[in-house]
């Protein structure tokens, strides 16, 4: 144990960018929400969550589900374990995409410095897809 502590101090004093430090961090938040079309639940819509922009481009979702009869969906989120900690702030990047009858909607995009939120509730209205670029995140809004 003393060796680990000594190595950590030496590494920190030398300006190492990575050090041994077992940790868990939130990569994708616990998500819940409701998808509607003109205020009516969008039954049959598929919701997919991608861990990063590159996985979105390769069409490899981390999570996917079909909304229920009430338009609701939920995901447990994803926490990652690592033996090493990178000095500095991590980059959180994930995206939520809604597919309704073959039409894809950018529901929510998150790419920022820092950790992902622990939980996020969304309200997604498919009726006006042009609004998805107003805030730059997508057609979903953070629900109160």
In order along the chain (144 residues), what is the average pLDDT of each group of 10 residues?
61 59 70 92 92 62 87 80 67 84 87 74 85 68 81
Query: How many residues are recorded in the chain?
Result: 144
At 71 the pLDDT is: 93
Contact between 53 and 95 (Cβ < 8 Å): yes
What is each CA distance from 11 to 1, 2, 86, in whole angstroms? 15, 14, 12
At 38 the pLDDT is: 92
At 99 the pLDDT is: 93
At 142 the pLDDT is: 85
Which CATH code, of 2.60.40.10, 1.20.1050.10, 3.40.50.12780, 1.20.120.350, is assigned to 26-77+88-142? 2.60.40.10
Residue among 57, 67, 62 at smallest CA distance from 27: 62
What is each CA distance from 140 to 13, 46, 76, 91, 108, in whole angstroms? 45, 14, 18, 22, 6
Domain ranges of the chain: 26-77+88-142
According to DSSP, the β-strands at 30-37 and 119-125 are: parallel
Residue among 103, 43, 105, 104 at smallest CA distance from 68: 43
At 138 the pLDDT is: 85
pTM assigned to the model: 0.71
Residue among 46, 96, 95 at smallest CA distance from 66: 46
Give bridge partners of residue 123 from the DSSP assignment: 34, 141
């Amino acid at each position: 144990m003393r060796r680990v502590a000594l190595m950590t101090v030496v590494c920190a004093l030398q300006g190492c960018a990575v050090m041994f430090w077992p940790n868990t961090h939130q990569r994708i938040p616990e998500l819940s929400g409701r998808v509607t079309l003109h205020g009516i639940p969008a039954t049959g819509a598929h919701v997919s969550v991608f861990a990063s922009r590159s996985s979105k481009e390769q069409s490899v979702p981390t999570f996917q589900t079909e909304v229920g009869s009430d338009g609701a969906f939920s995901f447990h989120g994803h926490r990652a374990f690592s033996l090493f900690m990178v000095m500095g702030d991590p980059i959180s990047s994930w995206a939520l995409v809604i597919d309704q009858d073959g039409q894809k909607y950018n529901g929510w995009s998150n790419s920022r410095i820092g950790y992902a939120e622990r939980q996020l509730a969304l309200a997604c209205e498919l009726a006006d897809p042009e609004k998805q670029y107003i805030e730059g995140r997508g057609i979903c809004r953070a629900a109160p």
